[in-house]
Structure 1
Amino acid sequence: MKVSGFTFLRNGTMLGYPYLESLRSLLQVCDEVVVAIGKSEDDTLAQVRSLNDPRIRIIETMWNEGMAQRGFVYAQQKMIAQFNCTGDWAFYLEGDEVIHEDDAPKIRAVLAQYLNQPEVEGIAFDYHHFYGAPHLVAQSPAWYRQELRIIRNTIRSFAPDGLFWVVMDKNKKGRYPKAALAHCPIYHYGHVRSSEKMQEKHRQVAKYWSHAPLPHDYSQVDANILQPFQGTHPQVVQPWLAAMAETQFMADPNYRLTKRERRHRILAKIESLLGVELTKKHFIKVI
């Protein structure tokens, strides 16, 4: 069994991504890691090269600056990397996502288990979405609780955006991949980078979503969705958290909920009463 990892990056240092930590964690599982690196204004390319791991294969790319349709440029870059994977499985991690070292052998075991079961087209993970500070996680129907991150590399799939895949087993209609659960989490750190880095990210990416940059303020959040994190952070990301994570977070006690947040509160109550889970899933659970 061969497992490929892949991702895409651009201005990772400038935007405060723990991308080196993400790649190091991915290397705990993968036999090769393909990294599509867009032309950057910082040292992202040099930093990835400095990992000096023969399993890493870098593809230098140019982003389509005119592509402002719902972040489709991310899908393009994701697919450039995936289409260069040569493994039986393709494991996608975004630049702010990390695998725990305790879970790496579990993931390999799951992939081996389902290698010869073609009805399993992908593997989905639980998620820890850290928000504002490394000791807080966001738990709400607004934050996906599970997501597909591994796809079988021998099926006809594509990404309509950076988040999920569509399988085209018929020419005229696509569907979500059929998936099994990994029964371990992805650690998502995008919302604990410093406020300064997050503001810069908003400034740079807004044009790919056809809107003006929005001001960023971690304090403007429904504090009810934030819960203490009960686990341990992956070892590989702990130095980054100490050096780069936001240190001044405090939820605004006078924050007024948006209409969307009020709706999510209602959904959370329904989940609690009925014992159901109402977040959107981009996969079909088969096992």
Structure 2
Amino acid sequence: MPQQNAPITLVALTVLLICGCLSRQSDHIYFASDRDGVGNNLFAVNTAGGELKQLTRDLKPDWDPYPALSPDGKRLVFVSRHQDANLEVYVMDSTGGEPARLTFTPEDEDRPVFTPDGRISFDSERTGDWELWVMDADGGNPARLTDSPGIDEGSSWSPDGKLVAFASERGGRFGIYLAGPDGSDARQLYGGVSFSCNDPAWSPDGKLVAFSSDERGTYDIYTIALDGSKPIRLTDGEGRGQERYPCWSADGEWLVYAGLESGDWEIFAMKADGSEDKQLTNNSAYDSLPAW
């Protein structure tokens, strides 16, 4: 996949302001975009200077790649129909280059993330319904983590690797669940009978889980403590439309997320308490699924 540097349609000053507030941080924000007019490909923006780099050019256009960064920031994992009709897991250097395919099944895989010990967890339909699986970083030794009659998706790991958060509809509507590293002892952290909760993201200090929920009718970003106390709403989807896919900065000071702005998905960032909300992208393209 050839790479391409492109003029950035991004609020560079905002990125610089955010970068200047962080003591330890990845120097790139990664996201999915169809700004090249072909499909949803992966892009990286340098937070120090605002330069935009296109990392992939021939991902299939009909599915989001769901990128996630490795703990050391050197690798990027995502899904694609690049080589066949099925969604498969790929990994590549975070600076670009040729992706390596990790899964080879007749069923779809989705939402891969790195675990704290360097493995990869992901959603898979290989048993007939969507469950959580984990495999080695090279694709070896796949093992199922969950087994429920409903969909389990979107894993995020505690920094110490002792718990995994995920979204599940085993209770009827999607809720946020916690389980042991082998998928055992699953319990609901938050959910309801009339709304859904999705996109869990564990904070770097291990104290909070960010997630999105349509509890108020449109999707907002929330954080919740591990004791299941009342979540704190950070965004107001009524003013923007929808807010999804929260991702923490390495020091836990910021959250980056995707928001529906005037009918168009863009990338935003805010402080962990919901203050200083800033729009990072501003164009007519689809920009979503940030990884930082």
TM-score normalised by the chain length of structure 1 = 0.28
Instruction: Point out the structure with the larger helix share.
Output: 1
Structure number with greater Rg is 1
| Higher RCO (Cα < 8 Å, 6 or more apart) | 1
**TM-score, normalization by structure 2:** 0.28
